[in-house]
A and B are shown apart, each in its own frame.
With several copies, the nearest count.
Chain A
Amino acid sequence: MNEREQAMSAQVLEFLAHAQALETESGERYRELSETLEIHNNPEAAALFQKLAHYGESRAEEVVQQTGGMALPELPPWECQWLSAEGPHRCMEEAHYLMTPYQALRLVLRNESCSCNLYRRSLRDAVDLGVKKIASEMIREKEKHLEWLYSCIEREAETHHPPQEDLDPPNAPE
Chain B
Amino acid sequence: MSTAQDRKNLKPKDYKSEIKPIWCPGCGHFSVLSAITKALAHLGLAKEQVALISGIGCSSRIPAYVDTYGFHGVHGRALAVASGLKAARPDLTVLTAGGDGDGFSIGGNHFLHACRRNMDLTYIAMDNEVYGMTKGQASPTTAPDWSHSKLTPHGTGIRRFQPAAIALASGASFIARGFSGDPSGLARLVVEAIQHPGFSFVHVLSPCPTFRPEQRAWKQQVHPCDLETTDNPIDAAHAIQSDDGRSLGIFYIESLPVWRSEKAAQRSLSRIEQEFLV
Contacts and interface: CB of A to CB of B under 8 A. Distances in A.
A39 interface: yes
Nearest to A76: B42
A24 B14 CA distance: 13
A28 interface: yes
A151 B136 CA distance: 40
Contacts of B219: 85, 93
Contacts of A39: 20-22
A123 interface: no
A73 B127 CA distance: 34
A92 interface: yes
B187 interface: yes
| A76, A77, A97: residue with the most chain B Cβ atoms closer than 10 Å | A77
B4 to A, nearest CB: 15
Interface string A1-40: 0000000000000000000000010001100110111111
A92 B42 contact: no
Contact of A93 (B34, B134, B207): B207
A87 B22 contact: no
Q: Chain A interface: which size bin?
A: 20 to 34
Contact of B34 (A40, A89, A97, A170): A89
Interface of B is mostly: loop
B42 A33 contact: no
A93 B188 contact: no
Given A36-B25, A40-B25, A174 B134 contact: yes
Contact of B182 (A85, A95, A174): A85
| A29, A78, A99, A173: residue with the most chain B Cβ atoms closer than 10 Å | A78
A35 B34 CA distance: 15
Contacts of B12: 28, 77
Q: Chain B interface: which size bin?
A: 35 or more
Contacts of A93: 26, 28, 181, 207, 209, 216, 219
Contacts, number: 89
A70 interface: no
Nearest to A38: B20
A80 B23 CA distance: 27
A18 B182 CA distance: 16
Interface string A79-90: 010011101011
A114 to B, nearest CB: 14
Contacts of A97: 24-26
A96 interface: yes
A74 B24 CA distance: 33
A78 B181 contact: no
Contacts of A170: 135-136, 210-211
Nearest to A86: B182
B31 A94 contact: no
B184 interface: yes
| B23, B26, B135: residue with the most chain A Cβ atoms closer than 10 Å | B26
A172 interface: yes
Given A35-B20, A93-B207, 8 more contacts: A28-B12, A39-B21, A39-B22, A80-B184, A85-B181, A93-B219, A97-B24, A170-B211
Interface of B: 11-13, 20-26, 28, 30-31, 34, 38, 42, 56-57, 133-136, 181-185, 187-188, 191, 207, 209-211, 216, 219
